[in-house]
Amino acid sequence: MLREIEKHGLSGLAMLVMLPATLLALMYTAFQALRRGDVLHLIYWVLAIVFVGVLLGGFFVVNPNEGKLLQLFGDYKGTIKHPGLRWANPFYTKRRVSLRVRNFETAKLKVNDARGNPIEIAAIVVWRVVDTAEAVFFVDNYENYVQVQSEAALRNLATGYPYDAHGGEVDLVGHTAEVSKQLQTEIEERLARAGVQVLETRISHLAYSPEIAAAMLRRQQATAVVAARQKIVEGAVGMVEMALEMLAQKQVITLDEERKAAMVSNLMVVLCSEHSTQPVVNTGTLHN
């Protein structure tokens, strides 16, 4: 596989001093040859001036967090990342590759979750180029490649998890951090051959599709009501049990099975009712 070869290149400042000084000296020498009428030496010095003039085309600037990829007639020669004014073979083709951290948000994808419910999902992907040779030579357009593969990974991830779940199952809503980590792993696997490193992924949009959003909202509300009722009943049963045990231990009153059932029924009504109960005062005996 073609890997990045990092080069430093020659200092542009040093060459900026040397080449113009050499060019001026050659021009002066050529002028002296012209004055003497020495045609042979004049041609020699003119060729030397042309050669130095060609060398002046080797200057280029490398910005911070940027790489210049060098090619000689299609052959990869290396990448210069050291910022500043640099000089290299003027016949090198110099291609700029940004090494800065970049991010983008995928389109809102409409997919089916693990239970077949249509949902809308989008994510933010933070990435940067770490190998300029792979990014340029292994894929046609690495920026477009990152976007397409990220959306494909997000679509594949969404189909593997339910939108919401109960009982400890991993879902898209309640386990956002875990799902985002899994998404980052999948995108990294797809982008490894493109010389790209994924720094972070985050789910930016998650919702049911509009055509089922109202129905799913009612289902979520019903599920929440059932869960709340279950907790209320569990608590009420525990309180009734505790009340009967305390009455029996302290021997406050002795109740037969029928009266215990009536007491349990009354306590359950009081504890589980959504509205305040109205007490009925018994002015007779225990049984009347």
* Total Cβ atoms within 10 A of residue 5: 13
Per-residue model confidence (pLDDT) at position 21:
82
Q: Where are the beta strands (DSSP E) in the chain?
A: 6-7, 10-11, 59-62, 66-72, 75-80, 84-87, 93-98, 102-105, 109-112, 118-129, 196-208
Q: What is the pLDDT of residues 190-231, one digit of tens each?
A: 888 888 999 999 998 888 876 655 656 666 666 666 676 677
Q: Is the pLDDT score of 55 beyond 70?
A: yes
Per-residue model confidence (pLDDT) at position 125:
93
Tokens of 194: 């493109």
Tokens of 41: 């030496």
Question: Is residue 211 packed enough to be buried (19+ CB in 10 Å), middle (13-18) or exposed (0-12)?
Answer: exposed
pTM more than 0.85: no
Per-residue model confidence (pLDDT) at position 267:
65
201 contact partners, CB below 8 Å, separation of at least 6: 123, 124, 125, 126, 180, 181, 183, 184, 187
Q: DSSP assignment, residue 285?
A: -
Give the C-alpha distances (Å, rounded to integers) separating 20 from 1, 24, 42, 45, 88. 41, 6, 19, 15, 16
Kind of pairing between the strands at 6-7 and 75-80: parallel
Q: What is the pLDDT of residues 231-285, one digit of tens each?
A: 777 776 777 777 777 767 766 666 666 666 766 676 666 656 665 655 665 555 5
Half-sphere exposure for 135 (CA within 13 Å, toward CB): 23
> 98 vs 8, which has greater pLDDT?
98
Kind of pairing between the strands at 93-98 and 66-72: antiparallel
How many Å apart are CA 257 and CA 244, to the nearest integer?
Answer: 11
Q: What is the pLDDT of residues 21-50, one digit of tens each?
A: 888 887 878 777 777 777 777 788 788 888
Q: What is the pLDDT of residues 121-158, one digit of tens each?
A: 999 999 999 999 998 988 888 999 999 999 999 999 98
Per-residue model confidence (pLDDT) at position 257:
67
CATH code, 102-208: 3.30.479.30
